[in-house]
Amino acid sequence: MYNRYQRLKTFLSIALILLLGGTFLIFAMPDKPNSPEPTDVDVNECVSACALPSHVDLSGDGFPVKRTEAEWRERLTELQYSVTREQGTERPFENPYNDNKRTGLYRCIGCDTPLFSSTDKFNSGTGWPSFTQPIDSRTLGEHKDTSYGMQRVEVHCKICGSHQGHVFPDGPKPTGLRYCINSASLSFEETESPEAVKKLVEAWYQVEGE
Ligand SMILES: [Zn+2]
């Protein structure tokens, strides 16, 4: 006989299944990364046409900008030093640029080279600032990183050697790449518009190149 007790039991079973299923979906589904805000300004456009500044000679083995241990310590905070000089990783979410939605230019903390633009930044949900591409692939070096038993591609500033983060092949359009970068490796210069970011980038190539 299908009595009230059985009906209640059936109802509770279904409720429990729905609850567990919903919880599973919430935690198992990865956040879909948001693509960067569309803009008509291509900050990277000038770069391929520009020669690198004269102090940036990448033909040798070493990095063009060299500093002594004392100079690095003087220039960087303890966290910036451990991330950029000792391949460290800062804590996710508790870093200044993860949630930074302002327009502007991200430079290398070690040498002020423009590395990333806010126009390529997207919310990856990882807790670190994420970009679909660097401003200039010539100034961002890559190397295979097998530390912690993982196969990852490490990225660093090619001008001063400062470790930046890693690049993964699971990013949004247009590149499908996710440059996962430490805030501690960057300094941020806010601008009024993407055009102004582009001007700053051009200034680095032109003024420094004189
Ligand atoms: Zn640098």
pLDDT tens column, 110-124: 999 999 999 999 999
Checking if the pLDDT of 208 tops 50, the result is no
Task: Give residue 134 CA to ligand 1 midpoint distance, Å.
Answer: 13
pLDDT band, very low/low/confident/very high, at 86 (cuts 50, 70, 90): very high
Would you state the pLDDT for residue 210? 47
Report the DSSP beta bridge partners of residue 88: none
Please tell me the distance between residue 136's alpha carbon and the centre of ligand 1 in angstroms. Answer: 13
Please check the confidence at residue 63 and state whether its pLDDT lies above 70.
yes
Task: Render pLDDT for 103-161 as a digit per residue (tens, 0 to 9).
Answer: 999 999 999 999 999 999 999 999 999 999 999 999 999 999 998 899 999 999 999 99
pTM above 0.75, yes or no: yes
Length of the chain: 210
Tell me the pLDDT of the chain averaged across its residues: 88
- How far, in Å, is the centroid of ligand 1 from the Cα of 140? 9
Instruction: Please list the residues that pair with 145 across neighbouring strands.
Output: 152
Percent of the chain whose predicted confidence (pLDDT) is above 70: 88
pLDDT confidence of residue 131: 98
Q: How far is the CA of 53 from the centre of ligand 1 (A)?
A: 14
Rounded distance between C-alpha atoms, residue 159 and residue 42, angstroms: 23
pLDDT average, residue stretch 167-173: 97
State how far the alpha carbon of 78 is from the alpha carbons of 9, 29, 81, 83, 167, in Å: 59, 36, 5, 9, 24
- Active site (catalytic) residues: 180
pLDDT at 85 over 50: yes
d(CA 139, CA 115): 7
Distance between CA atoms of residues 124 and 142, nearest Å: 21
pLDDT value of residue 38: 73
Question: How confident is the model over 88-97, as pLDDT tens digits?
Answer: 999 999 999 9
Edge-first strand order for the sheet with 104-108 is: 114-117, 104-108, 186-190
* CATH classification code of 45-207: 2.170.150.20
Q: Would you kindly state where each structural domain of the chain is located, as residue ranges? A: 45-207
